[in-house]
Structure 1
Amino acid sequence: MGPTMCFENLVIMSPVKNNVGRGLNFALVNGTTGVVLTQKCFDMYSGDVMLLVKFLKEIPEGTLVLVASYDDSGTKMNDETRKFLTNLGNSYAKQLGFRDSSFLLGAKDLRDKSPFEQFLKNNPDTNK
């Protein structure tokens, strides 16, 4: 079951809407108006990581960034993508690995870690 993302009581992404996928799921929201700008998912197991890099480079200033992982978010992760995620306020980007779970509400060039993030390290011994 993939993640569901909501903002201001509006479901932006969900399995029911059929717009989430394996890897990293992103929703960009205008930080002033609250209008959803776009939603995208990037397959971090067998997809092209350079598509994610291009997407991250093009995030406009003043944009809120919602990120939720699903299944595998770390296999294709490289130093460049980890740096971009850190710049969004993700304090766990450097350790994000295979089947780890995370979500984040951040913004481009956030100077500190986001107060709205959660991370759960994959543990094959305790997974259900």
Structure 2
Amino acid sequence: MSQLSHLLYVRAPSSKMRNTFLSLSSAYSATASPKPKCSLSRVCPPDHFALYIRSGAANVVGPKICFDGKIIMSHVLNNVGPGLNIVVVNGENGVVEKFGYLNMKTGNPQEILTYLKEIKPGMIVLVASFDDITTKLTNEMRNLFVGMGSTFIKSIKRKDNWVFAGRAGTQNRSLFEKQAFNDDRTNIYEGWPDMVEVSGCFPRTIRQVCHL
């Protein structure tokens, strides 16, 4: 065999070698380290979901909501709108039940209230503001968010930015909430505060078992 042909010659692996290679490949795939989701810096524990929520910027750039590695709502997807952009997730299995935006400028307050009341206990609720959310925001609506763990919703005023992740049917204070105040001294856009964002690992809902 010439030197050139020797360089081009590749020996076909035996069946034993192929099986060994496949076993090693399968083992590598099974043990490959999982990657962080929603641009987090770490991987969430198995009993938690990764999330990232960013409010809109003024009334120009829409918000963004990512859950468990998937962007559900964003300006790029063209599925956001003025008001409360909201994603409702089954807290046990992480399935997105519904999403959309509640128009807090021209929407029907009764329909908005009905939508919020229909969110079942245990559901994870992700919210990002866009534009002004206070025009149609009633005290009853604020109290419903308090029942999901919000502590800032009571103080939201005109043109404030707000992001929140909570759980329906709980009175426990959520750690996933931020607010930017509309203040002429600190606003970075023309008459609007800076956008706000929250991210992290949100605990899965644990089903309560009743023992008779």
Normalised by the length of structure 2, the TM-score is 0.58
Distance in 1 separating the partners of 2:92 and 2:172: 20
Distance in 2 separating the partners of 1:86 and 1:105: 11
Structure 1 runs (4+) deviating above 2 angstroms are 124-127
Q: Give 5+ residue unaligned stretches, structure 1.
A: none
Q: Deviations over 1:68-101 (max 9, x none)?
A: 1111111211111011111111101111121111
Decide which of 60, 67, 71 is 2:120's aligned counterpart: 60
CA RMSD of aligned residues (A): 1.1
User: Secondary structure of the residue that 1:69 maps to in structure 2?
Assistant: strand
Normalised by the length of structure 1, the TM-score is 0.94
Structure 1 equivalent of residue 183 of structure 2:
123
Mapping of 1:1-128 within 5 angstroms? 1-127=61-187, 128=189
Distance in 2 separating the partners of 1:6 and 1:89: 20
User: Secondary structure of the residue that 2:124 maps to in structure 1?
Assistant: strand
User: Secondary structure of the residue that 1:85 maps to in structure 2?
Assistant: helix
Aligned partner of 2:186: which letter? Answer: T
Per the TM alignment, residue 116 of structure 1 is displaced from its structure 2 partner at its CA by 0.7
Contact 2:62 2:80 in 1 (8 A): yes
Q: What number of residue pairs does the alignment pair up?
A: 128
User: Secondary structure of the residue that 2:120 maps to in structure 1?
Assistant: coil
Contact 2:146 2:171 in 1 (8 A): no
Distance in 1 separating the partners of 2:148 and 2:158: 21
Contact 1:74 1:96 in 2 (8 A): yes
Distance in 2 separating the partners of 1:88 and 1:124: 31
Contact 2:89 2:98 in 1 (8 A): yes
Q: Give 5+ residue unaligned stretches, structure 2.
A: 1-60, 190-212
Q: Looking at secondary structure, tell me which structure has more strand per residue.
A: 1
Which protein has the larger Cα radius of gyration, Structure 1 or Structure 2? 2
User: Secondary structure of the residue that 1:82 maps to in structure 2?
Assistant: helix
Contact 1:75 1:97 in 2 (8 A): no
Aligned partner of 1:61: which letter? Answer: P
